[in-house]
Amino acid sequence: MPRLSEVIAALDALWPPSRAEQWDAVGTVCGDPDAEVARVLFAVDPVQEVVDEAVGLGADLLVTHHPLYLRGTTTVSAGTFKGRAVHTLIKNDIALHVAHTNADTADPGVSDALAGALDLRITGPLVPDPTDPQGRRGLGRICELDHPETLREFAARAAARLPRTAQGIRIAGDPDMTVRTVAVSGGSGDSLFAQVRAAGVDVFLTADLRHHPASEAREQSPLALVDAAHWATEWPWCEQAAAQLDAVSERHGWGLRTHVSRTVTDPWTAHAPSATSPTTPGAPN
């Protein structure tokens, strides 16, 4: 079996920490470099439910997309929910490693996995990494559909192919418009509207679209928007990442056993459709 340091070196080769944004917190949070690793669990969020899943699985390493301590900390007291996660991991000899924005821009990265889940043909990155001479790395992906379909049909495709969440799929635009080209970006994407407009695509699929940026984007161009849950747009990366580590394990003869968490860690748990409109008596202002 490989040591943790060997597995981490392989993960860092897939998603170099140097390619993470300066504000990000990626890398190994806890773990003994000399400990042996036989079983690895991939998940989006390092929350207690996922940590407990890792314990029950007998995992030696938990790899998550989202950082545990994005803004730093002065304590890992078990009296805090993040500290309790660290205590649980250490007590059970489980390492935690994070690949966040360095996985977003990788080749393949988070948006490649999202495009793959939607069965889209990738033509290039939305925001190319200027340090990549091959022009494959970068944030987001520009894609094409094999056959044109309506925005309504494309939204149904997303609803059917992405993990189910309470939010589901929201759309902005004419449901009957024709869709041929799509930009996708896993996670929060409303900072990318300028690049999406420049790409000239019909639809932008991402997550966490806020009212004002979305409203302004709709006013500036005929671009349609498809908004899915943040967790749902990033979860496909877990399967892709596990497959990448499987390939490394096979090359080295490590015999690792990789698993992907199916635990839904999207924070929203239910959805109640609106029943009134502003013109309906008794409707809220």
Task: Summarize the annotated binding site for a divalent metal cation as residue ranges.
Answer: 65-66, 104, 230, 234
Alpha helix ranges (H) inside the chain: 4-14, 48-57, 81-91, 101-104, 110-117, 151-161, 193-199, 211-220, 230-252
Token pair recorded at residue 209: 């679209």
Residues β-bridged to residue 247: none
Token pair recorded at residue 251: 């090359």
Token pair recorded at residue 66: 């989202």
Q: How far is CA 70 from CA 8, 63, 98, 196, 264, in A?
A: 19, 15, 10, 27, 21
Q: How many residues does the chain have?
A: 285
- CA atoms in the 13 A half-sphere facing the CB of 235: 19
Token pair recorded at residue 156: 């149904």
Annotated binding-site residues read: 65-66, 104, 230, 234
Contact between 73 and 37 (Cβ < 8 Å): no
* Owner of token pair 């996985």: 103
Residues β-bridged to residue 42: 63, 260
In the sheet that holds 39-43, the strands lie side by side as 27-30, 95-98, 61-64, 39-43, 257-260
Question: Residue 70 and residue 66: Cα distance in Å, rounded?
Answer: 8
- Rg of the chain's alpha carbons, rounded to an integer? 20
Pairing of strands 257-260, 39-43: parallel
